Structure 1
Amino acid sequence: MALFDKAWANLTGGSFVLRIEDTDRNRLVAGSEEQINETLAWLGLDPDESPSLGGPYGPYKQSERLDTYRPFVDQLIADGHAYHCWCSAERLKQMREQQQADKRSDTGYDRLCLGMTREQRAGLPGFSETPVVRMLIPDDAELTFTDLIRGEVHAPRPDDQVILKADGFPTYHLAVVVDDHLMGITTVVRGEEWISSTPKHRLLYKWLGWQEPEFAHMPLLRNADKSKISKRKNPAAQLTWFKEQGYLPEALRNFLQLLAYPPVEGGQEVSSFEEFTAGFDWGKVSTVGPVFDVKKLDWLNGVYIRSLPTTDLADRIIDHLLSSGIWHEVPERGREIVTAATPLISERLTTLSQAWDKINFLFADDETLNFDEIAVGKLRDDAVQVLEAARKALAEVGEWTAEAVEAALRSSLVEGMGLKPKFAFAPVRVATSGTQVSPPLFESLEILGRESTLRRIDRLTETLRG
């Protein structure tokens, strides 16, 4: 929603507004507002107006605007468009259960309180001291409206929606209408689950004498099995998950651009937000819920990773190591080592989180480096002789470069011992990285350095000898 909101605002010279809708006090989650701010900033979708930035129509938190809503509630009551309801939660629960038992099609509030005074209602069962305020939906409520994405839409008939709760907080339905009008919102972008609420909102605009905005109801994202994405069951439904996994914000933004929307001209899937914005058209948005295919995101992320300059990618790997808690601070020579290793692993990376498994051997202590049992078990019986020959050759290398290391090992092991490269270099790879699969061997040894390389070869040699 934020991506499409911001694209439309940028294209039309408008403002992208972040408003915190926190009137449902039972659903507040500590830290959620900070998380929204941080993830939008990380994704490059900074708002133009928000609680933290301020703006001409603040405050931007609904809980700080309670005095703004009350006069409009009073106006609706005075004009006969709303009424007080003193029904208790228990009475409403019993009403719904009875409606279900009777298999009624016209479920919703039964208007017991309509037209009653407090004293009259107090004489009946199921009375609550503190009333709510409900809309009085007319019989001729208009249920058809024009949607920017879907064209003419027919919504179901609403019931008498609560617009002011017993705790004095407005419900979403009243608050968004009042705020959208007062904040000058001309385009409301939201999920298709709000289509059924649109007739209520249009009535409020009409009753309050305001020009209603245009509505764009986006399709809901789906899992690979076409089911609706659940925030509780699918971690990918939350932006923080993508940052934790090491996706690049520009790749995720590009991926989101392709959901329910065609690629830019020529079918080009890799495109910038500026390119997306330049040709943005609500008419191109699909009404079919797009499948959230993480495999597609992995491919895009790999493309973006490989397009980054080495120093930029190295910086992002380091930032990820710090933010994920693998590092609490950058170790000595940490930036130098990561920058040197980055070209060796970039082609094999799908996400930043994969980098540490590929380079952690470069930061291991020579005396405690773990030799993978499976990797050691796959070495041939002549591994000790190969390691001894490799150590002798490497000890005599002059300038310690990848080229010099490769030349020495090939001369000693391939030409001198007549070994095939995969058998010649496997013991050296296991000795220096601890595994049978590592970044390019000779470049890795250049980064590791002569002393560490020789110490690790000695350790594995001793281990194999028993």
Structure 2
Amino acid sequence: MSQTNPIRTRIAPSPTGFLHLGTARTALFSWAYARHYGGQFVLRIEDTDVARSTQDSVDQIIASMKWLGLDYDEGPIYQMQRLDRYQQVVDQMLAEGTAYRCYCSPEELDAMREGQRARGEKTGYDGRWRPEPGKVLPPVPAGVNPVIRFKNPPEGDVTWNDLVKGPITINNREIDDLIIVRPDGVPTYNFCVVVDDWDMKISHVFRGDEHVNNTPWQINIFNALGAPLPQFGHFPVILGDDGLKLSKRRGAVSVTNYEDKGYLPEAMLNYLSRLGWSHGDEELYSREQLIAWFDGTHCNKSPAQWDPAKLEWVNSHYMKLADDGRLAELVKVQLAKRDIQADSARLKPMAALFKDRCSTTQALADWLLMYFAEVQPSADDLAAHVTDSVKPALATLADKLSAIEWNKAAISAAIKETIAAHGLKMPQLAMPVRALVCGRVQTPSVDAVLELFDKEIVIKRLRSI
């Protein structure tokens, strides 16, 4: 695109709940597309659903965007702060005859639809208050606040070349005269989104395919206003484990929930981008690579399947690459949730030692609990490994460890001396040591694990039998 016609995308969540995974994916694709072409990305808060919108939801949306690293160039822009602008456009449309007042009561509308169903007709507004040449409208009822409806073209087709789905055509007879302002004077979604995208010069609208049916109305409103049309791209839904659509009301957890569970934002970004888009067979790639590759092509037309195991695999990859100091800070937060206060400097070498075994920082915190809380070896492990024949060696090792300087080399030497003195092999001593000190029999190298304990704790646990 030229400098006079820049790429501008947006994400426009409704603050009626958390930022769920589908909206996060849409935000990611919109952001990546703008960044690929050197354009701008806008955050807009669509808060005209006054009864359900909350500041907590706004805060959560912004926190989720920040965690994912989806930086925006403008915003957040709030629709409820733009009511004067919407009124200005409504007045223009009323004056030009592209909108009109409708005084139907809810009861009339219900009766209208019931009659249509009884006659086997498609339900919809019948246009009784729609002005037409030579038409006599009903008398205006007293004390009724009207809605304002868009005067949708009665004939013809609405066609657009969807960036994801390809050409889509919907006949205007399939849609009725949309309400654009409620009786309380608050404008509706399909109207506000057009005015916003027009004013904000949005060039490309990416969103979920639940909005496909809204698009004909919006295109018609754009045309009625003489506003330039953005290009539209509708991504298929994300399906849950059960094959049903993830949504706020069914199954979808928030983005921040994954942060709480110990996933890394770079892993979530990588995984989300693969739900509906691909670059060859690439599975793991950086943020910079995603921006370089995401040109709007290779988007899937079929629904994506949410796969928790695949997400864990991706997160494991990024756990291995993560800086140890950063992991220490994240694990510190996880431990604090369990009322354990730990020093970041002490956690750093622990994170380095155990991160290869963990898929999340929550799992890493599970490993490190043994350093800060009492452990309880399983009865099976004690029976299998802490036998009467090995107990003398454990006592010898405790004595040797109590006399050494506490470092990995000295610990290793004490273990080897104990093994030699009692005629054992390494696993015969290492396994019971792990069971007693760590509460589990599978760990990294036992000398490396013991070095990170307080010396007194190791000796106490070895002598607990």
- TM-score range (shorter-chain normalised) is 0.7 to 0.9
Residue 457 of structure 2: aligned partner: 452
Say yes or no: does 1:39 pair with 2:82. Answer: no
- Please give the residue correspondences for 1:161-310 in structure 2 after superposition, counting only pairs within 5 Å: 161-236=178-253, 238-263=254-279, 267-310=281-324
Structure 1 pair 148–391 and aligned structure 2 pair: CA distance change class (3 A)? same
Higher relative contact order (CA 8 A, sep 6+): 2
Alignment deviations for residues 387-431 of structure 1 (CA, whole Å, 9 cap, x no partner): 3232223233x322223222222321x333233433322332222
Structure 1 equivalent of residue 427 of structure 2? 422
List alignment gaps of at least 5 residues for structure 1.
52-59, 462-466
Paired letter, 1:139:
P
Candidates 432, 436, 453, aligned match of 2:437: 432
CA distance in 1: counterparts of 2:312 and 2:440, whole angstroms: 25
Whether the 8 Å contact between 1:132 and 1:164 is mirrored in structure 2 is yes
Q: Secondary structure at the match of 2:232?
A: strand
Using structure 1 for the length normalisation, give the TM-score: 0.86
Count of aligned positions? 434
Alpha-carbon distance in structure 2 between the residues aligned to 1:101 and 1:348 = 64
Q: Is the 8 A contact 1:155 1:195 kept in 2?
A: no
Partner SS for 2:144: strand
Aligned twin of 2:95: 78
The match for 1:145 among 149, 154, 160 is 160
- Change in Cα spacing, 1:167 to 1:117, as seen in structure 2 (3 Å) is farther
Q: Which residue of 2 aligns with 1:57?
A: none
Deviation at 1:439, TM superposition (A): 4.5
Q: Name the CA distance, whole Å, in 1 between partners of 2:352 and 2:146.
A: 67
1:110 is matched with: 126
The code of the aligned residue for 1:271 comes to Y
2:328 is the alignment partner of 1:314: yes
Q: Displacement of 1:67 after TM fit?
A: 0.7
Range moving further from structure 2, 249-258 or 280-289: 280-289
Structure 2 counterpart of 1:120: 139
Shift of 1:250: 0.8
Q: Is 1:28 aligned to residue 53 of structure 2?
A: yes
Does the alignment pair 1:388 with 2:407? Answer: no
What is the match of residue 73 of structure 2? Answer: 48
Q: Give, in whole Å, the separation in 1 of the partners of 2:29 and 2:231.
A: 14
Offset at 1:374? 4.6
Among the aligned pairs, what percent are the same residue?
A: 33
Asked if structure 2 preserves the Cα contact closer than 8 Å seen for 1:190 and 1:216, the reply is yes
The two structures, once aligned, show a CA RMSD in angstroms of 2.4
For 1:134, the equivalent position in structure 2 comes to 149
CA distance in 2, matches of 1:100, 1:295: 47
For each residue in 1:22-62, what CA deviation from the matched residue of structure 2 results, as whole angstroms up to 9, or x when unmatched?
112233144111111111011010111113xxxxxxxx100
Alignment check: 8 A CA contact 1:141 1:199 kept: no
- Contact kept in structure 2, 1:235 and 1:241, CA below 8 Å: no
State the secondary structure of the residue aligned to 2:305: coil
Letter in 2 for 1:456: R
- SS of the equivalent of 1:4 reads helix
Contact 1:390 1:428 in 2 (8 A): no
Asked whether the equivalents of residues 204 and 231 of structure 2 are also in contact (C-alpha less than 8 Å), the reply is yes
- For residues 121 and 110 of structure 1, the distance between their equivalents in structure 2, rounded to whole angstroms, comes to 17
CA contact (8 A) 1:251 1:300 kept: yes
The change in CA–CA distance for 1:102 and 1:420 in structure 2 (over 3 A counts) is farther
SS at match of 1:17: strand
3-state DSSP of counterpart to 1:28: coil
After superposition, the Cα gap between the structure-2 partners of 1:376 and 1:23, relative to the gap in structure 1 and judged at 3 Å, is same
